[in-house]
Amino acid sequence: MARGFFQEEEQEELVQEVNLQLLEKKLARIRTHFKGTVLLKTYFSKVVYNSFQEMARRRSRQPNFVGEETLLNTADNQLSPVQQLAIQDEIYRLEGILKGLQRKQHKAEFNLKLFIRFLLTETDVQFYHSPKTAVAVDLIRAHFFQAYDRLRDKEVYAIAVQLYNIMEQKSNDGDSLRRWVDGVSRRLIELLNGVPPVSAHTVESLKALLQLYFISKKEG
Amino acid sequence: MKVTNRETMDYLTEEGHLTEEGIALYAETLQSENWTDLAKAVSLHIEDCQLCHGEALALYAVLSEMEKASEKAAVDKSQTGKLIRMKFIRWAMVAVLAGLSFYFYRYLDRPHAQDQIQQDQPIADEDKEKEELIPIVKDESEPTTPKKENTESTSIPTTPVPKADSRVLYASNFVPSAEMEALLADARRGADLELISPVQQAVFQLGENILFEWTGTIDEALFLQIENNKGEEVHQTALSALRFDYKPDLPPGLYYWRLESEEDLLMLGRLELE
């Protein structure tokens, strides 16, 4: 429903259809294929999700793409509940991609904040505190703890790269860090848009989504 | 059900994509972030296959939404339960207070009242005492009717009521607030702050200054609130440092203090003024 495949009034009918499918076809298949390496709840959720996808295909339903139109041109208070649900779904998917970066997650999030000029706080730099990094961290505090929209990408990453050069024992310039962040953002757009496509993100809509993601993380 | 080893299990379909269980495993790992338990075959495939990666992300979104909904339901349930408990505790407290008031009124002040009568009207013997007591308590509407009444029951109205009330009120200042005690039991603490003083449940004498002091670092505005045991705020101040010397001008009783930021309750404590 969040993706616009189904309407709210179809809910009862859809639930009935999925239950029937489970009873008639899927339970036997689950018994054969489920090996118990994940929680049954997770596996079952996947099976039910697939059932809904099949139904959407059979009914030739197309999703409502989340993109610039939803994220940039609609003020928060004008969003319909379904649109809000779709954005929340998009935030979860973004979170999933970032978590999948594993050890690179913190670096990616830190630099994506710089990418959208998100104000940093002590929480962002606490991970980097050490005697060696003190000067670089102070530089970050001095520049990114208050509004820094006026700074260009080149200037922003020239400051941030000093910290990563100490951490990673490298001697890169700001442009190299900027290219790395561009790569990460391209990958995010690619994965969010999906195959087959479920969203229509651009750099601008990604920035808006990142903004929402960091705000929701901050609010806990 | 027999559980298969994750590393030896085949997570790929004949078409070379992840099975439903493989997708579920990756989504579950995103939730737990326990990457060591993720089968290598699954992580390698996810890196290269955008289709399976997308499927796993969609499932992760579904699971996260379900988790959020169940957390919300649990919070709603515990808040409802807490509310019912709080209501019950409040009524129980009212009943106890009423009982205490009656006790003070009925028994504790009776000998005191008799002492007062004896001091005001010294009498030689018990009979005279009875005779003297009756006119004091007799109904003015029947001034001439002699009545033989039990002194115990008739002496009650002579009790100085305001005095008993003030004792009850004094005692009620020390009755713990069920709501605040429950919060204290949760032992909430500011993430980066540590309390130096006052120690929890400290007792101060009237007129004594109370020093509030914490150590740690925090980059938010802080507020100190003090309320009495009835939940009435008696003092509030915005802190400019992690130290505040408070000169209370308050009646004796039990008080609770809270240290709050703009958005959160960071710490709370209890103190008594004697």
At A16, the pLDDT band (50, 70, 90 cuts) reads confident
Q: A197 with A143, same domain?
A: yes
Is A194's CB within 8 Å of B50's CB? Answer: yes
**Among the partner residues A38, A46, A191, nearest to B53 by beta-carbon distance:** A191
Say yes or no to pLDDT of A165 above 90.
Answer: yes
The yes-or-no verdict on residue A168 having pLDDT over 80 is: yes
CB-CB under 8 Å, A50 with B64? no
Q: Which of A98-107, A121-130, B96-105, B190-199 has the lowest mean pLDDT?
A: B96-105
Co-location of A153 and A75 in the same domain: yes
Residues of B in contact with A191 (CB under 8 A): 50, 53-54, 57
Residue A165 Cα, gap to closest chain B Cα (Å):
27
Token pair 């990408």 is at which residue? A153
Predicted confidence (pLDDT) at residue A83 exceeds the cutoff of 60: yes
Cα distances (Å, whole numbers) of residue B118 to A52, B108, B124, B160, B234: 91, 17, 10, 14, 43
pLDDT for B187: 52
pLDDT of residue B101: 75
pLDDT attached to residue B143:
43
What does the pLDDT average to over B141-168? 45
Find residues 192-251 of chain B whose CB sits inside 8 Å of chain A: 217, 219
Chain A residues near residue B66 by CB distance under 8 angstroms = 45
Cβ-Cβ contacts under 8 Å, B28 against chain A: 38-39, 42
Look up the domain containing A151 and give its range: 66-219
Q: What is the mean pLDDT of residues B252-260?
A: 89
Number of domains present in the structure of chain A: 2
Query: Do both A148 and A194 map to the same domain?
Result: yes
- pLDDT class for B148, splitting at 50, 70, 90? very low
Closest Cβ opposite residue A38 in set B24, B64, B65: B24
Tell me the pLDDT tens digit for each residue of A32-52. Answer: 889 899 999 999 999 988 888
Contact A40/A34 with Cβ under 8 angstroms?
A: yes
pLDDT, tens digit, 9 for 90 and up, residues A84-123: 888 899 999 999 999 999 989 999 999 999 999 999 999 9
Q: Which residues of A touch B46 (CB under 8 A)?
A: 100
Which has the higher per-residue pLDDT, B152 or A188? A188
**Which of residues 59 through 118 in chain B touch A, CB cutoff 8 A?**
59-66
Cα atoms found within 13 Å of the Cα of residue B125, Cβ hemisphere only = 1
For residue A1, being part of any structural domain is answered with no
Per residue in B42-87, pLDDT tens? Answer: 999 999 999 999 999 999 999 998 888 888 777 777 766 666 667 6
All domains of chain B, ordered by start, with CATH? 7-89 (no CATH), 110-159 (no CATH), 174-273 (2.60.40.1220)
- A94, with CB counted inside 10 A (0-12, 13-18, 19+), is buried
Do A131 and A182 lie in one domain? The reply is yes
Query: What confidence score (pLDDT) does residue A149 get?
Result: 93
Residue B155's pLDDT is: 39
Select the residue of A43, A121, A191 nearest B20 (Cβ to Cβ).
A43
Instruction: Output the six-digit token pair for B112.
Output: 């005191």
pLDDT at position B135 over 60: no
Same domain, A109 and A211: yes
Does B57 contact A97 at a Cβ distance shorter than 8 Å? yes
H helix or E strand, kind and range, residue A209: helix A203-219
Confidence of residue B136 (pLDDT cuts 50, 70, 90): very low
Look up residue B13 and give its DSSP letter.
-
Do A152 and A97 reside in the same domain of the chain? yes
Query: What is the value of pTM for the model shown?
Result: 0.59
* Sequence-ordered alpha helix ranges (H) in B15-160: 20-32, 40-48, 50-103, 110-120, 126-137, 151-154
Coil, strand or helix at B212: strand
- Identify the pLDDT of residue B146: 42
What's the pLDDT at B6?
63
Per-residue confidence band for B3, with pLDDT thresholds at 50, 70 and 90: low
Within 8 A by CB and 6+ apart from A46, the residues are: B20, B21, B23, B24, B27, B59
State which residue of chain B sits closest to A34, comparing Cα positions.
Answer: B21
Contact of A202 with A109, CB cutoff 8 Å: no
The verdict on residue A176 lying in a domain is yes
DSSP helix/strand/coil, B269: strand
Asked if the Cβ–Cβ distance from B30 to A37 is below 8 Å, we say no
**pLDDT per residue as tens digits for the range A52-80:** 888 888 877 777 778 777 787 656 557 77
Q: Is the pLDDT of residue B121 over 70?
A: no
User: So what's the pLDDT on residue B154?
Assistant: 39
Which of A112, A107, A163, A166 has the alpha carbon at shortest distance from A139? A163
Domain termination site, one of A41, A58, A75: A58
Residue A97 and residue A200 share a domain: yes
Name the average pLDDT for chain B. Answer: 75
Band the pLDDT of B91: cuts 50, 70, 90.
Answer: confident
What number of residues does chain B have? 274
The H-or-E segment that residue B260 falls in is: strand B253-260
Name the DSSP letter for residue B106.
I
Chain A to chain B Cβ contacts (< 8 Å): 91
* pLDDT band with cut points at 50, 70 and 90 for residue B168: low
Q: Give the nearest partner residue to A49 out of B53, B59, B219, using CB atoms.
A: B59
Whole-angstrom distance, CA of residue A154 vs CA of residue A175: 6
Examine the pLDDT at A145 and tell me if it is beyond 60.
yes
Q: In this complex, do B50 and A195 lie within 8 Å of one another by their Cβ atoms?
A: yes
